[in-house]
Amino acid sequence: MMACDDEFDDVQSFVGMEAADAYAKILLSHRSVQQVSVYRYASPPTLQQRIPVKAIEQSLIDQALAIRKDVFLPFWHALFVACLKSQAYSPELIRAAFFHNGPGEPVAYGRDAIESGILGDLSRSGRGNLGLSSLVHDAYDEAWHLPLLDFHCDISPINEELTAHICSLLMPSGFILIDSGDSYHACGLKLLSVDERIQMLGRALLAVPVVDGHYIAHQLQQTASSIRISLGGKTSRLPVVVRARAPITEVRAV
């Protein structure tokens, strides 16, 4: 894990910042960071566009939607529960569950561009769906990762507490929690090695369904994670930081 060169004197200064500006501040706190990428991605085709929906598919979809509403599971998790509950399945639906849209086309930006505010400018540009890559490169072209997470729960005071507590266990070196418009995103303050990124995502799966397991499944199929920085969510607005936590320090007995 790469410690940040500039420790944040007031981590609460993140609260209220648009997410793209907060990510830039974290990246710039690491003097070794020289490059980051932004993905331009297309929304995946709807399920109905990918497969023919016949009676069996519609029945399972309806059951999955009812399960999702009842127990707050992501749709595809609920779909597999519906298969088990009804003792029926559709090969087309199962195949559709494995669809991977990919992160999109990356555009790399150097440290000078980050310092000039390119991430915030892009997020506010209205140029479609944009996601920040977790992958960064240092001056020696070594790869590091921002610790990124996506959650699957409604915006509420108790859910904010819950997701923040999960983050404190997964990101003890400090984090920011972001209201994405639909749910919550999170980003750690310290960079991770390639192996540490995989370990963090694996540990996060233990908190499914509060952590979005479907998000993690897709990130593990890629060499880098990504997180939305453009307009989106139910309110069609930019993600905004709602909490920030400084690194947890151990108190040693003397």
Q: What is the mean pLDDT of residues 93-110?
A: 95
pLDDT at 6: 64
pLDDT digits (tens, 9 = 90+) for 131-146: 999 999 999 999 999 9
pLDDT at 253: 47
- CA angle centred on 17, ends 4 and 124, rounded to 5°: 110
State the pTM of this model: 0.92
pLDDT at 192: 97
Say how far apart CA 142 and CA 84 lie, in whole Å. 45
pLDDT at 252: 46
Percent of the chain clearing pLDDT 90 (strictly above):
86
Size of the chain, expressed as the number of residues it contains: 254
pLDDT digits (tens, 9 = 90+) for 195-229: 999 999 999 999 999 999 999 999 999 999 999 99
